[in-house]
Amino acid sequence: MHKAATHASKLTLCAFRAVALDASGGELPTRLVICPVGTHGARARGNVTVGPDTFTGLEDRQNAMKHGMRLALDFEHNTVPGTPAYAADKEPRNIAAWATLSADPAVGLVFDNIEWTPTGIEAFNNKQFQDISPAVFRRADGTVLAVHSAALCRHGEIDGLTIEAASAPSQLAPFFAELSASINPPSKPMLPILRNIAAALSIDLPENADDAAVSAAGEAILAKIKDGLGKSASPVKDKDADGMSAEAKLQLATLTAQVKTLTEQNEANARAELMRQASAEGKVIPLSAETLKITPLSVLQEIVSKAPAGEVPLGRNTPKTGHEGEVTLEALTAADEEVLHKMGVSKEEFAAHGPGAKAAKK
């Protein structure tokens, strides 16, 4: 189980100047440290930390995002959606090299087995770039959890480049969703205790129970406990008529609170997993955060299962072309505007960075 419990909205993708690119030797490097171990300041964006939590489970998190360990060394972050270089470029995007990400606790995150492209070889030999800037996913305390790519930069970094999960472009949304799920695995530390309580009350709760079964058993346990308390008579001296002492009642009340907490925790995990699945499938769930909390789990499951997939685009769409090959922006429909609203993207941002933006500026 990975450490670092955090919600997707607390994740950010941040780029910063990590190290200088040494092109003085003339030979193409086959290994580059893209993010040294330790804590690095990223000015207004806080700290970026590479440490034990970064190294533990790194490959699992990279695979969960379907990004893997073979990553791009690009130019000025032109493969990161939401950056100026990405908006100015188009597919197929030029990259300097492909490399294998590895974790070396002694030095940090490393690009190994670098395979340079012809464009990258030319840029390196001509000493066109002087710095290396990684684009990393980090949690709220600054700890690096995963890597999107790294870039050759002329001036260290794209100033102020930080992308939050809540406002990430649609191409990055699946990465945030999968990464959040991989570092927030459902936790059932009290399941053995809950099973013992359920057995004592003649309630069946299997050892491999899923979140829905645990929630249902928790509700049944609460119901039986409340029913038993309701039948209690007024206390006589230090015991009720049913033979329960004040101490026993206190223990029972504490146990009731623990069961209630566990039930709520498992329901929250189940809801978070449903929303993660919906996000990964490009589904729009038209419910506010407050409404989600009070929507019965069975109802939410039905809403997610019946919601059409692909309403939020997960990949790049090819813009339509006008006369003489010019790229043109289509007028947004009401449905398009609704999708943009739920993604947290304004029409102005879409016009500035969306498909066709480069042509529209000409």
Strand partners, 112: 100
Would you state the pLDDT for residue 323? 46
Q: The whole model's pTM is what? A: 0.51
Q: In this structure, what are the phi and psi dihedrals at residue 278, rounded to the nearest 5 degrees?
A: -60, -45
CA 338/CA 329 separation, integer angstroms: 17
CA gyration radius, the chain: 26
283-to-271, 308, 319, 331 alpha-carbon distances in Å: 15, 6, 22, 22
DSSP state of 312: S
Q: Are 39 and 49 in contact (CB under 8 A)?
A: yes
Q: Specify the length of the chain in residues.
A: 362
Q: In this structure, what are the phi and psi dihedrals at residue 290, rounded to the nearest 5 degrees?
A: -70, -40
Q: In this structure, what are the phi and psi dihedrals at residue 6, rounded to the nearest 5 degrees?
A: -160, 155
Instruction: Give start and end residues of each alpha helix (H) in 231-245.
Output: none
Structure tokens at 121: 């070889």
CA 263/CA 222 separation, integer angstroms: 10
pLDDT tens for the 362 residues of the chain, in order = 333 333 444 788 988 888 888 877 678 999 999 999 998 877 666 788 999 999 999 999 999 898 899 999 999 999 999 888 999 999 999 999 999 999 999 999 999 999 999 999 999 999 999 899 999 999 888 899 999 999 999 876 555 578 888 788 889 988 988 888 777 544 455 677 777 787 878 888 887 776 667 778 778 887 877 776 555 544 444 445 455 666 666 777 777 777 777 777 777 777 778 787 777 777 888 777 777 777 787 777 878 787 887 776 554 444 444 444 444 445 666 666 666 665 666 667 666 655 555 444 54
Domain extent listing, the chain: 8-167, 191-306, 323-361
The packing angle between helices 246-280 and 297-306, to 10°, is 10
CA 218/CA 266 separation, integer angstroms: 10
Exposed/middle/buried for 63, CB within 10 Å: 0-12, 13-18, 19+?
middle
